[in-house]
């Protein structure tokens, strides 16, 4: 299918060949007719599937972080795409301006704003909350237009400048983007959607870029329609009427020759219309900051992949030392942009349009560490090692290792680089020694969340860069590098375990296949033959078409460090009479590791050897288990039969052996259970790069893998990138390890610096942390919330937002009473006047609908699905965490009580400023009275807030400091590591329960120590003031003992009655959530007891338990402590994990223990 761009070229060529008559630009009517075909009718799918969802996803966070949004749209056409955004986003737009040179469009656009669509239910304006009428200017957006266009007077600024329908006719494009950037308010964004291929914007760095390669335009195969469509695509008409008529006839022919017809659309011509979205912030021009520090790659890029070469990066830098790599990372973090990394340059995604590429080519050293040297350094028997820097290629490593008598199990082509060993690495030694990533025993990495250089595993001292420190997350990072290593940092070097270098014997032979049946029989034979081979032998097959016939080519490799044995002859059915090349025709040759590169069938035999000339290729690879299965074989044969070019082929690489010895979860490379890796390879001749032939080959590869995917055990991640067609493959790439990898990605690359590596799923969206900011009127809740939002956004790379839960009530109140909503929201004095009535109004509502507060809470949380941290002001403050946490069981819910003295509060409420811009007191009066609620802090609360902040004593700096000390710890890596250690076991101990194996933490290496250290450091009080750590058997014993010993505080053991010597105190205890779910009897009562004098009366006690679920155990423990003379005000509780869905806190509160402060390290949403 030709692209629109290709069609444009062809139409222009035809015009030159047909007539010498002068051309003229399209009239408004002609332009509008063509535009409607592309945008409104046939091309609408691109809007539905790409532009609108991308725009909504992108603008959501920006819109939600502001109360007013202003948008400038360049060339909107007759309707703005903004009208298709979700309702809450449209309502945020308060100002809309547009440049639209086409008078017809302007008229229609104005009309559209007046009568939104014709459907009766959509009578509301598309942007219903505009504060002023839309400002639509009938003029083009021109460079330096300043006063003429009325924009560049330095006054007019926008949150968003949107180029939605390509940058038609704007040259040079980057200048237009730069002009748009100057029109942004701080934090604003320029968004460009561009039809066709790539967007060349010299020197500008994008915030992000997303492609939509599968866009298609359907054009009715009708003379009249084509006469509108062709001039629009060509960009002109002829001045002379006769010449124009003649040219249109020719243009129809061109369209019909290039457009594809499909059965499903018999009356239409189809053209490929790939689309790209690029977004830019005010950081877009900051490239010089980086290039002043890090060398640019000067000569032509040696990127092998032709597809990648079509992308024009913002720049390619070539660090020559580790600090350069760190500078790249820090620059990207500072400017909110991403990077790509170039290793061997064999993937299609190592270069991305308008993204800075970091070429690792200067790190090209291979170091050999012999077994003796390694042993001397590490003091234990160590294997020989090969340290390969990130810019090395497979050939460099194999050659250098071989010269030292060593081998590393790498891939089959010498030019492939680090992407291979960081993501897998299937080669001829895989059955014997495993994948390349399995041989990685250490690595040096630049962290992409800090720019720090760290190392993991075994790295010989002389190859450690200056300043490198052992990673605090060593276990996880090395695990991730063993199979998914391109997503977690920029790897500087890896240490391979090396093996003795073997020699190889290789034989190739070819079996012609007469029909599908024979193909299936031979594939079955081949599968069976391969299965019987010993580990040092592997057989690869090639399915390809040659000389009008399907062929099965086989290459058999044998490796040995001793003298090579004679290989078993192939099974007779694999070398029948008629075989074009039999093994005996092509006797085995003995080769070393380097010579081996040229020995396989593709290089030496098939299609005249290496495609018979200069070719480009596109590959995707799936893992197959049962090569003889009918559906698998039929799909393989059908694939070759439908190949779009003669050189396309399928390559089956044998696996099994050492590859499948390793359990799936042991390394990130989770797909282990397969016999063959099937590489689907689309090949075209190099002079067809970027043409229809290349696109057809790529499309064929995706079609074949889509057909094969359900029959496979997963996809090979090494080839996958940000192309949306890779997403479905990527979810199958890591077997059971995908959820953990997603969590680790979030941990190691929170700002998505490596955004274009093999795609990993986003963590489930929704706030991870919800902070209810409570406190009395005038304490400064909104002020504090805003500071905490800015600190979390800036210093933690989190998306945080503050909302007031009472805004809905204010809106409803304003509607009912006619009060001025904007003054209610913003004018303190006005709000104070209305406070009594507002409070009465809310109370009346709640009497009518008792569930209203929960409903409001849910709505506010659901409306913030895009943020990491949600701060809510205007809350009721009656134990909100206990009351509400079950409604948001997947989030951690905290309340922070803000305090200030009565005087300060009175002053703030009386006067406007002073940081006390609270707005939401109609709800948060404890006694629900209102209007005059300057109540004092001394009111006794029957619950303990999670945290307390005194706004008066510490002010703005104090608020910032509070965020760092009080809120950041909830995002600590160690807490996330601890969470990653908890395995979820479905349907255990009974169906319907997802059992979070909290005690399993203690069975993980380092788990108990990590948990102990977190319990110690996150405790909000001082351990010096604690007299005892109390715990109840059995779970509590484990964590409490380790902690008590660590903080040097005695333990108070609580056991089932009858197990401790007298004297004891005891209370009854209903069974816990898990025990009752196994016994089936939730009311079974047991007694628990503790030694009467173990803890002195009035002592301060910390209760430590593994889990807080229903709270029944903790309730009994607290009762027991009371019985022993320890009041609730002297007790704190720390649990390792909380399951809020069971409402344990609420049980404690109702039982009179609301004042006991409860902290949980982890929160889980499971049942």
Ligand X SMILES: Cc1cc2nc3c(=O)[nH]c(=O)nc-3n(C[C@H](O)[C@H](O)[C@H](O)COP(=O)(O)OP(=O)(O)OC[C@H]3O[C@@H](n4cnc5c(N)ncnc54)[C@H](O)[C@@H]3O)c2cc1C
| DSSP letters for 986-998 | TT-SSTT--EE-S
Q: Is 708 in the site for ligand X (CB under 6 A)?
A: no
**DSSP H or E segment with residue 44:** helix 44-46
Residue from 349, 522, 909, 1073 that binds ligand X (CB under 6 A)? 349
Q: How many CB atoms lie within 10 A of CB 372?
A: 10
Q: Is 714 in the site for ligand X (CB under 6 A)?
A: no
Q: Is 853 in the site for ligand X (CB under 6 A)?
A: no
Nearest distance from C-beta of residue 740 to ligand X, angstroms: 19
Nearer residue to ligand X within complex by CB, 351 or 1060: 351
Q: Is 454 in the site for ligand X (CB under 6 A)?
A: no
Contact stretch for ligand X (CB under 6 A) within 43-51, 129-137, 346-354, 374-382? 346-354
Nearer residue to ligand X within complex by CB, 416 or 1103: 416
What are the beta bridge partners of residue 892?
Answer: 769
Q: How far apart are CA 1051 and CA 675, in angstroms?
A: 55
Closest CA to 620 of 546, 523, 519, 706: 706
Q: Is 319 in the site for ligand X (CB under 6 A)?
A: no
| DSSP letters for 223-267 | HHHHHHHHHHHHT-EESSHHHHHHHHHHHHHHHHHHSEEETTEEE
Q: Is 425 in the site for ligand X (CB under 6 A)?
A: yes
Q: Is 652 in the site for ligand X (CB under 6 A)?
A: no
Nearest distance from C-beta of residue 390 to ligand X, angstroms: 3
Find out whether 720 and 313 touch, Cβ atoms under 8 Å. Answer: no
Site for ligand X in 132-151 (CB under 6 A): none
**What is the DSSP secondary structure assignment for residue 214, as one 8-state letter?**
T
3-state secondary structure 667-700: CCCCCCCCCEEEEEEEEEEHHHCCCHHHHHHHHH
DSSP alpha helices (H): ranges in 718-773?
A: 727-730, 738-748
Half-sphere exposure of 381 (CA within 13 A, CB side): 0
Q: Is 344 in the site for ligand X (CB under 6 A)?
A: yes
Q: Is 341 in the site for ligand X (CB under 6 A)?
A: yes
Nearer residue to ligand X within complex by CB, 340 or 1110: 340
Report CA torsion sign: 1155, 1160, 1166, 1167.
negative
Nearest distance from C-beta of residue 1100 to ligand X, angstroms: 50
Show the site string, 482-501: x = touches ligand X by CB under 6 A, - = not: ----x---xx----------
Residue from 411, 502, 644, 889 that binds ligand X (CB under 6 A)? 411
Q: Is 672 in the site for ligand X (CB under 6 A)?
A: no
What are the beta bridge partners of residue 491?
Answer: 445
**DSSP H or E segment with residue 707:** helix 692-708
Task: Return the C-alpha torsion angle 826, 832, 836, 838, nearest 10.
Answer: 0
Nearer residue to ligand X within complex by CB, 322 or 1031: 322
Q: Is 523 in the site for ligand X (CB under 6 A)?
A: no
Nearest distance from C-beta of residue 444 to ligand X, angstroms: 10
Residue from 345, 451, 644, 775 that binds ligand X (CB under 6 A)? 345
**DSSP H or E segment with residue 98:** strand 93-99
Nearest distance from C-beta of residue 486 to ligand X, angstroms: 4
**DSSP H or E segment with residue 388:** strand 385-389
Nearest distance from C-beta of residue 425 to ligand X, angstroms: 5
Residue from 76, 353, 418, 483 that binds ligand X (CB under 6 A)? 418
Q: Is 471 in the site for ligand X (CB under 6 A)?
A: no
Nearest distance from C-beta of residue 346 to ligand X, angstroms: 3
Closest CA to 164 of 189, 192, 188, 186: 192
CA separation, residue 479 to residues 426, 441, 442, 752 (Å): 18, 10, 10, 19
DSSP alpha helices (H): ranges in 101-140?
A: 103-114
Contact stretch for ligand X (CB under 6 A) within 89-97, 375-383, 417-425, 828-836? 417-425
Q: How many CB atoms lie within 10 A of CB 130?
A: 18
Token digits of residue 258: 């290039």
Nearest distance from C-beta of residue 485 to ligand X, angstroms: 6
DSSP alpha helices (H): ranges in 738-851?
A: 738-748, 781-795, 807-817, 821-826, 828-848
Nearer residue to ligand X within complex by CB, 215 or 344: 344
Token digits of residue 499: 């093996």
Nearest distance from C-beta of residue 458 to ligand X, angstroms: 18
Q: How many CB atoms lie within 10 A of CB 924?
A: 25
Task: Return the C-alpha torsion angle 676, 680, 686, 691, nearest 10.
Answer: -170
Report CA torsion sign: 436, 438, 444, 447.
positive
Token digits of residue 940: 């006794």
Show the site string, 378-407: x = touches ligand X by CB under 6 A, - = not: ------------x-----------------
Residue from 109, 127, 333, 350 that binds ligand X (CB under 6 A)? 350
Contact stretch for ligand X (CB under 6 A) within 20-28, 408-416, 1042-1050, 1139-1147? 408-416
Q: How far apart are CA 351 and CA 339, in angstroms?
A: 9
Q: Is 346 in the site for ligand X (CB under 6 A)?
A: yes
Nearest distance from C-beta of residue 58 to ligand X, angstroms: 23
Q: Is 413 in the site for ligand X (CB under 6 A)?
A: yes
Show the site string, 718-747: x = touches ligand X by CB under 6 A, - = not: xx----------------------------
Show the site string, 754-783: x = touches ligand X by CB under 6 A, - = not: ---x--------------------------
Contact stretch for ligand X (CB under 6 A) within 424-432, 589-597, 881-889, 1118-1126? 424-432
Residue from 15, 426, 650, 683 that binds ligand X (CB under 6 A)? 426
Residue from 59, 360, 730, 1095 that binds ligand X (CB under 6 A)? 360
Nearer residue to ligand X within complex by CB, 478 or 881: 478
Q: How far apart are CA 902 and CA 935, in angstroms?
A: 7
How many residues at the interface with ligand X, by CB under 6 A? 33
- The residue behind tokens 């075909």 is 37
What are the beta bridge partners of residue 590?
Answer: 505
Closest CA to 654 of 432, 870, 500, 813: 432
Q: Is 412 in the site for ligand X (CB under 6 A)?
A: yes
Nearest distance from C-beta of residue 368 to ligand X, angstroms: 20
Find out whether 752 and 852 touch, Cβ atoms under 8 Å. Answer: no
Token digits of residue 237: 């008409």
Residue from 75, 134, 417, 915 that binds ligand X (CB under 6 A)? 417
Nearer residue to ligand X within complex by CB, 453 or 1011: 453
Nearest distance from C-beta of residue 389 to ligand X, angstroms: 9
Nearer residue to ligand X within complex by CB, 488 or 1039: 488
Q: How far apart are CA 825 and CA 822, in angstroms?
A: 5
Q: Is 233 in the site for ligand X (CB under 6 A)?
A: no
**Residues in contact with ligand X by the rule CB under 6 A:** 340-347, 349-350, 360, 390, 411-413, 416-420, 422-427, 486, 490-491, 619, 718-719, 757
């Amino acid at each position: 299918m030709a692209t629109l761009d290709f069609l444009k070229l062809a139409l222009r060529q035809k015009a030159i060949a047909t007539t010498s008559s002068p051309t003229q630009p399209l009239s408004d009517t002609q332009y509008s007719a063509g535009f409607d075909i592309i945008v409104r009718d046939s091309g609408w799918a691109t809007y539905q599937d790409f532009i609108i969802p991308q725009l909504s996803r992108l603008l959501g966070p920006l819109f939600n972080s502001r109360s007013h949004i202003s948008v400038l749209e360049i060339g909107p056409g007759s309707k703005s795409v903004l009208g298709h955004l979700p309702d809450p986003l449209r309502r945020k737009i308060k100002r809309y301006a547009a440049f639209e040179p086409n008078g017809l469009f302007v008229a229609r656009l104005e009309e559209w704003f007046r009568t939104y669509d014709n459907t009766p239910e959509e009578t509301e304006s598309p942007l219903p909350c505009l504060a002023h009428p839309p400002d639509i200017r009938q003029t083009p957006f021109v460079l330096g237009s300043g006063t003429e266009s009325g924009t560049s007077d330095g006054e007019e600024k926008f949150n968003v400048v949107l180029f939605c329908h390509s940058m038609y006719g704007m040259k040079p494009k980057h200048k237009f983007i730069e002009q748009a950037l100057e029109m942004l308010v701080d934090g604003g964004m320029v968004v460009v959607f561009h039809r066709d291929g790539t967007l060349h914007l010299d020197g500008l760095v994008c915030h992000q870029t997303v492609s939509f390669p599968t866009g298609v335009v359907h054009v009715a195969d009708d003379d009249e329609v084509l006469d509108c469509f062709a001039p629009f695509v060509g960009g002109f008409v002829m001045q002379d009427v006769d010449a124009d008529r003649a040219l249109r006839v020719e243009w129809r022919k061109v369209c019909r020759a290039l457009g594809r017809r499909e059965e499903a659309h018999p009356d239409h011509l189809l053209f490929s219309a790939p689309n790209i979205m690029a977004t830019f912030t005010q950081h877009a021009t900051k490239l010089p900051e980086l290039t002043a520090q890090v060398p640019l790659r000067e000569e032509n890029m040696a990127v092998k992949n032709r597809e990648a070469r079509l992308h024009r990066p913002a720049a390619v830098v070539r660090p020559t030392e580790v600090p350069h790599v760190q500078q790249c990372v820090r620059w990207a973090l500072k400017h909110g942009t991403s990077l790509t990394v170039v290793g061997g340059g064999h993937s299609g995604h190592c270069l991305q349009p308008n993204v800075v590429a970091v070429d690792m080519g200067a790190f090209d050293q291979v170091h050999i560490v012999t077994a003796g040297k390694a042993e001397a350094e590490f003091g234990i028997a160590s294997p020989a090692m090969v340290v390969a820097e990130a810019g090395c290629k497979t050939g460099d490593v194999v050659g250098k290792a071989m010269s030292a008598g060593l081998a590393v199990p790498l891939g089959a082509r010498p030019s492939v680089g680090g992407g291979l060993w960081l993501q897998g690495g299937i080669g001829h030694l895989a059955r014997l020694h495993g994948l390349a990533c399995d041989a990685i025993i250490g690595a040096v990495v630049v962290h992409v969340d800090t720019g720090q250089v760290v190392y993991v595993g075994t790295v010989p001292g002389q190859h450690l860069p200056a300043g490198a420190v052992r990673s605090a997350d060593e276990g996880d990072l090395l695990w991730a590098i063993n199979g998914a290593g391109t997503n977690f940092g920029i790897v500087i070097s890896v240490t391979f375990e090396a093996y003795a270098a073997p020699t190889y014997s290789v034989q190739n032979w070819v079996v012609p296949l007469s029909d599908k049946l024979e193909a299936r029989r031979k594939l079955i034979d081949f599968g069976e033959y391969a299965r019987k081979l010993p580990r040092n032998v592997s057989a690869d097959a090639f399915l390809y078409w040659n000389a009008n016939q399907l062929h099965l080519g086989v290459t058999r490799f044998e490796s040995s460090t001793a003298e090579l044995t004679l290989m078993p002859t192939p099974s007779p059915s694999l070398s029948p009479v008629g075989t074009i090349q039999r093994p005996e025709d092509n006797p085995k040759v003995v080769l070393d590791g380097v010579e081996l590169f040229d020995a396989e069938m593709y290089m030496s035999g098939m299609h005249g050897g290496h495609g018979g000339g200069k070719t480009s290729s596109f590959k995707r690879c799936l893992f197959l288990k049962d090569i003889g299965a009918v559906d698998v074989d039929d799909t393989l044969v059908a694939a070759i039969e439908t190949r779009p070019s003669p050189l396309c082929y399928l390559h089956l690489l044998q696996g099994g052996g050492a590859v499948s010895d390793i359990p799936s979860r042991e390394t990130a490379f989770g797909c282990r259970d397969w016999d063959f890796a099937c590489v689907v390879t689309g090949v075209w001749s190099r002079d067809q790069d970027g043409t229809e032939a290349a696109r057809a080959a790529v499309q064929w590869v995706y079609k074949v893998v889509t057909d094969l995917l359900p029959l496979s055990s997963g996809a090979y991640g090494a080839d996958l990138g940000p192309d949306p067609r890779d997403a479905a493959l990527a979810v199958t790439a890591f077997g059971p390890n995908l959820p953990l990898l997603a969590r680790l990605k979030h941990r190691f690359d929170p700002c998505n610096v490596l955004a274009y590596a093999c795609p990993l799923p986003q963590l489930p969206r929704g706030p991870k942390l919800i902070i209810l900011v409570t406190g009395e009127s005038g304490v400064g809740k909104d002020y504090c919330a805003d500071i905490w939002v800015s600190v979390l956004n800036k210093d933690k790379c989190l998306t945080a937002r503050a909302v007031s839960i009472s805004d809905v009530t204010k809106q409803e109140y304003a509607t009912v009473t006619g009060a001025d909503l904007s003054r209610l929201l913003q004018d303190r004095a006005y709000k104070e006047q209305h406070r009594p009535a507002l409070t009465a109004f809310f109370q009346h509502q709640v009497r009518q609908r008792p569930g209203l507060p929960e409903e409001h809470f849910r709505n506010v949380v659901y409306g913030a699905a895009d943020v990491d941290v949600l701060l809510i002001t205007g809350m009721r403050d009656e134990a909100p965490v206990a009351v509400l946490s079950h409604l948001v069981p997947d989030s951690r819910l905290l309340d922070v009580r803000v305090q200030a003295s009565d005087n300060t509060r009175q002053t703030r409420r009386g006067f406007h400023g002073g940081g006390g811009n609270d707005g939401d007191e109609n709800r948060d009066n404890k006694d629900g009275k209102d209007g005059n609620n300057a109540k004092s802090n001394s009111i006794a609360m029957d619950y303990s807030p999670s945290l307390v902040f005194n706004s008066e004593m510490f002010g703005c700096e104090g608020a910032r400091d509070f965020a760092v000390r009080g809120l950041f710890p909830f995002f600590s890596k160690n807490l996330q590591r601890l969470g990653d250690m908890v395995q979820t076991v479905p349907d255990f101990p009974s169906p319907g329960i997802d059992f979070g194996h909290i005690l399993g933490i203690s069975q993980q290496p380092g788990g108990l120590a990590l948990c102990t250290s977190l319990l110690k450091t996150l405790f909000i009080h001082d351990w010096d003031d604690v007299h005892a750590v109390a715990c109840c058997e059995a779970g509590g014993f484990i964590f409490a003992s380790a902690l008590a010993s660590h903080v040097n505080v005695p333990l108070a053991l609580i056991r089932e009655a009858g197990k401790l010597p007298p004297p004891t105190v005891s209370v009854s205890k209903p069974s816990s959530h898990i025990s009752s779910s196994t016994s089936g009897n939730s009311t079974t009562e047991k007694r628990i007891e503790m030694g009467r004098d173990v803890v002195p009366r009035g002592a301060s006690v910390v209760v430590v338990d593994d889990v807080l679920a229903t709270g029944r155990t903790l309730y009994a423990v607290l009762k027991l402590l009371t019985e022993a003379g320890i009041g609730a005000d002297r007790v704190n509780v720390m649990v390792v994990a909380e399951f809020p869905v069971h409402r344990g806190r609420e049980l404690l509160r109702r039982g009179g223990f609301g004042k006991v402060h409860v902290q949980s390290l982890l929160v889980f949403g499971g049942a």
